[in-house]
Amino acid sequence: MPYVEAPDEFVGSSVQVCGMYPFTSGVGAPAVGVPLGKHQITRATVCADPISWFERGSLISSPSAVILSKPGLGKSTVADIWAVGLAAYGVLPWFFGDVKGEHVEINEALGGDRIQYGRANAINILDSRAERRAAKRLTGDAREHLRAEGHNRRQSMVEALLTIRRQQPMWHREQSVLDMALAILEERGERDDRLPTLIDLRNLLSDAPPELREAAIDRGSEKRYREITEDMEAALAGIVSGRTFGGTFSGEANVEIDPAKPVCFDVSSVKPGETELMAACLVATWSTGFGSLNITHALADAGLEKQRRYFLILDEVWRALRVGHGMVDHYDSLTRLNRTWGTGQAMNVHSFKDFESLPTQHDRDKAQGFMDRAGMLMLGGISQGEVETLQRVVDLNSRERESLTSWATPPSWNIKRGRHDAPPGRGKFLIKSGDSPGIPIDVQAAESLVKLHDTNQRWQNKQESL
């Protein structure tokens, strides 16, 4: 039976095959992942999310993304679209550090738990109940590894609080004393079946037991020990009872997380001007959340729990990083674990210059590594200066640079409506992965999601009351 043989297909650049136009067609965007919107040129549907592109498409090297744009252009909307879409794939979204409470309704619609941090919700960052229960179910190296991870996490959290309080990192001798002090409190807690608190830690430093004096290398001089630990003890006293933190970290117990549900760590009760408290609460959400993930995955690896995947949305990270030297290291220790922990991650950033404002060159270099390690970049409207700064990390062609700056154009005034129109760059993003050309998209959120996600709700209420 006669048939028409299929023609040969060739792929080439526009320079190589320009003479064959119009018998060529552009390569479509990968149809892998959560539907985000329409391609700005072809109007084809664009699907993308860091987990699907890493796991199913092998398009990026790590399941992580950085969402960068000026405020009000759709960063949080992109994160929420990913959260809802990935939840449909069986991935549990966890919202870390919801500064404005903008993810609360989305989380509740997904059946998630809301965990509030702030002055009205005292917590205990040394709470190890979940870890103790898990350790009883584990054996051998798995148990020891879990306990060691828990100890290191608690020490890192206390060090972060002390760094925020003192505006400087701890020095090595203080770290040795703190390490031993936490080990003593954990041993006593196991023996007496109680949870140690930061007040117990402060009192233990004051009591100066032989183990702490040996860790401090005081050469048999109590005066020398007091000189080494006095500043640390004073900072702890300020954390548990001072006005800056208002008793936020003086609780008897911490929150317990259900690993089978979405979670929103809500810190919106903290006022924007309370920079130290905000930073401390953000770090506490990282410590609590990643501590729970560590326990969950340890049990799953031992065949004692179901293996679950998570998608972490980290908001306003710069608020904690800029507080003092050393904070970047605490955050960096968390973000390097996403591939081995079976988690995807998205970090919202207003400006790349937030990283450049960090106190030391060491911190700035390490913070820029967050952008380098991100498998996917979602770039929205940014200024010309921001584009030039970003060019040091990601390769942008002239058309892409022009698009990013044009999307940052301020909104115009609508005389008939008596208010500004929507910003021209709202919902416009460029998806970049590696050195490949970016994919320009118009983000389109479902109407039901738009109703739940309104970051300008207070302004809208004000307009309606006028």
Q: Report DSSP letters for 297-319, one per residue.
A: HHHHHTTSS----EEEEE--THH
Name the token pair of 163: 């760094």
Give me the pLDDT at residue 29, please. Answer: 72
Torsion, CA 48, CA 336, CA 269, CA 68, rounded to 10: -40
Query: pLDDT tens, 367-405?
Result: 777 777 788 999 999 989 888 888 888 889 899 999 999
Cβ neighbour number for residue 70 with a 10 Å cutoff:
19
Q: How far apart are CA 308 and CA 91, in angstroms?
A: 7
Choose between 293 and 461: higher pLDDT.
Answer: 293
Domains, the chain: 1-119+262-273+310-466 (3.40.50.300), 124-254 (no CATH)
- Fill in the DSSP letter of residue 7: P
Q: Report whether 389 contacts 352 (CB < 8 A).
A: yes
The rounded mean pLDDT for the chain is: 84
Q: How far apart are CA 377 and CA 388, in angstroms?
A: 16
Q: Name residue 419's amino acid.
A: R
In the predicted structure, residue 466 carries a pLDDT above the cut 70? no
Best CA proximity match to 157, nearest among 201, 113, 118: 201
> Which contacts (CB < 8 Å, 24+ apart) does range 129-134 have?
129/195, 129/253, 129/256, 130/256, 130/257, 130/291, 130/292, 130/295, 131/291, 131/295, 132/190, 134/295, 134/298, 134/299
140-166 and 327-335 helices, crossing angle to 10°: 150
Query: pLDDT tens, 70-128?
Result: 888 888 899 999 999 999 999 999 999 888 888 999 999 999 999 988 887 888 999 99
> What is the pTM (predicted TM-score) of this model?
0.85
Q: How far apart are CA 85 and CA 82, in angstroms?
A: 5
Helix ranges restricted to H, 208-259: 210-216, 222-241
Give me the pLDDT at residue 465, please. Answer: 37
In the predicted structure, residue 359 carries a pLDDT above the cut 80? no
Query: pLDDT tens, 233-281?
Result: 999 998 888 777 877 888 887 788 999 999 999 998 888 788 888 888 8
Cβ neighbour number for residue 128 with a 10 Å cutoff:
24
Query: pLDDT tens, 320-344?
Result: 777 666 677 767 765 555 455 678 9
